[in-house]
Each structure stands twice: as C-alpha cells, then as structure tokens.
Amino acid sequence: MDIQAGMAAYVSGAGSGIGRGIARVLASRGVRVGVADIRGEAAEETVALIAADGGQAVALEVDVSEKASVEAAADAIEGAFGPVSIVCNNAGVAMHGVPVHEFSSAEWDWVIGVNLYGVIHGIQTFVPRLIAAGGPGHVVNTASIGGFQVNAAFLTGPYSTTKYAVVALSEALSNELAETSIGVSILAPAAVNTSIHLSERSRPDRLGGAYVRPENHFMGELIRDGADPLEIGRQVAEAIEDDALYVFTHPETEAWLEARCGRILAGYDRLKGDRSGARQAAE
C-alpha cells in the first residue's frame, strides 16, 4: 500500500517508545495520526513532537484492554481526520523476571488484557471499518522477537505467551484478508531503546493501579543501547508499502529462530526413528 499524505492512522502505545516512533514517521509522511496511549499526558507529548515537525495528530487517552475505549478512539479519529487507513496495534507491557508458575492471576489479566486483547480489540474495531471503506488499508500488530522464541535467561514466559498469540492472530488475519486490499504486518523487534521496563506505571486502576515491579527493571540496562524507535518506525512504514507480513528489525535474532527451528525439526527426526536428537545437537 502506498502511504499517502492525508491518510489517517491509529497508533496505540504511541505515548513513548516504538509507538511514538511509528507515529512520528507516519506523520512525517503526511499521515494524520491518532496518538493513543493509556497515559494521556504522554500522548500529548507525542502530538507536540509531531506538531513541531509540521505534522497533524490528535492525542487520545485509551485503555486498549477495554474494547469500548478503542472504539471511542476510532470514532474520535474519524471525526477529526476521516476514515482510518493504517492501524498499528502496538501497545504492550513487559512482564519478565518471574517463573510462569509464580505469576499471579492479576498479572496474567493485565498482560493478556494489553498485549493480546489490545490487538484483538484493534482488529474488532478497525478491520470492519477498513473493509467498509473499500481500502486500501494496512494493519500492523506489534509482537516481538519473543513471539517467535522464548528467552530462557530473562523468564519471559507470560510475555512470550501473549506475543506468540499475536503472531498466530496476525497470520490468521492475513489469510482472511488475502483477497482484499488490506495488508497485515507482524512487527517483531528485539532490543529497542524504550521505557517498556517501566510498564507497571501504566497499569489501570481496575487491574490494581500503578505500582513498582522491580523484576522488569534489569531490562533498562539491556535496551539502553538498543535500536532507535524512529528507525523502527521507518521499518514499519517500509513494511506497509511492501505489504510485508514479517517485520524483523534485528539481524542477530535470525540465529535464535534457526536454533528454535532446529529443536522443532529434531522432533520430526525422532518421529522418523532417530531418537538421538542429532539435528537438535547440531544446532
């Protein structure tokens, strides 16, 4: 899909990090952006940056874990800029550092509510509108490299559970929209210089409110020298124009996926009678 000036976009989690990078890059291309974030003041900051660069945007306080909030955002963007053509379901929270069996039910509710239901709600809200508008359109769902492999060192089980689901959901959506003019991309970044390790400051009151979660904070050091969110935004814009399904941003992660695929294929070797795990060992 060609990104054209005057189009409208929805970008969730756009008050900081990757979402802000996507919003700013789209705005630099003349797209009018609905900047959605659960932290309204952070959305306003992004809008101010876009305005300073000569772009157009509107700040929207949105809790993506609630469908009604996403629907209200869609109505607001359409009221300000007209039908949405680009949908970026980007909002996410990090929930690392705790074994799966120790993860509380409240934390499961939160990470699933944002990372998975946030994407579901974006799809439910915007895809029917994209279809009704007749396209072209594009949906970008932010997964993670954690949606393709689980990093044992960082205890990312709950986070990766949601991100694997985003990958499957997006692949299904791509299949279902194949005969339309609506494209789908799965964004799968690794280390990006964002504040995702401070996700807990944004937990809504209905799920317990803001708090301090020190188990996440080790990530701050790891991602400090990570990719620039604006560079990720540029890669997203290119993926939209290329109608690319998979958007990998860090070349070094290819080896991680090769290792995982080797372990999977070793299971087939065993099925065929090779119980030595030779292929897995070779990886």
Range of the structural domain that residue 273 is part of: 253-283
Exposed, middle or buried, 78 (CB in 10 Å: 0-12/13-18/19+)? middle
Q: What is the pLDDT of residue 283?
A: 47
CATH number at residue 75: 3.40.50.720
Is the same domain home to 237 and 258? no
Burial class (CB in 10 A: 0-12, 13-18, 19+), 133: middle
**pLDDT number for residue 223:** 67
Q: pLDDT value at position 204? A: 79
Spans of the chain, pLDDT less than 70:
195-198, 201, 211-213, 215-224, 277-283
Predicted confidence at residue 280, as pLDDT, reads 62
| 32-37, strands of its sheet edge to edge | 57-61, 32-37, 8-12, 84-89, 137-142, 182-188, 246-248
DSSP track, 236-259: HHHHHHHT-SEEE--GGGHHHHHH
Q: In this predicted structure, what is the pLDDT of residue 94?
A: 85
Domain-embedded: residue 42: yes
Q: Are residues 234 and 258 in the same domain?
A: no
Say how many domains are in the chain.
2
Same domain, 51 and 141: yes
**pTM assigned to the model:** 0.92
For residues 95 and 214, membership in a common domain is answered with yes
Asked if 60 and 89 sit in the same domain, the reply is yes
Q: Which residues are part of the catalytic machinery?
A: 159
In a domain, 2, yes or no: no
Cis check for the bond before 136: say yes or no (omega within 30 of 0): yes
Q: And the tokens for 249?
A: 């941003």
Predicted local confidence at residue 169, as pLDDT: 98
Q: Are residues 261 and 132 in the same domain?
A: no
Residue that is written with structure tokens 């990312």 in the block: 156
Strands 8-12 and 57-61: unpaired
Residues 45 and 173 in one domain: yes
Q: Are residues 216 and 257 in the same domain?
A: no
- CA distance linking residue 228 with residue 272, whole number of Å: 46
Q: Strand pairing partners for 246?
A: 186
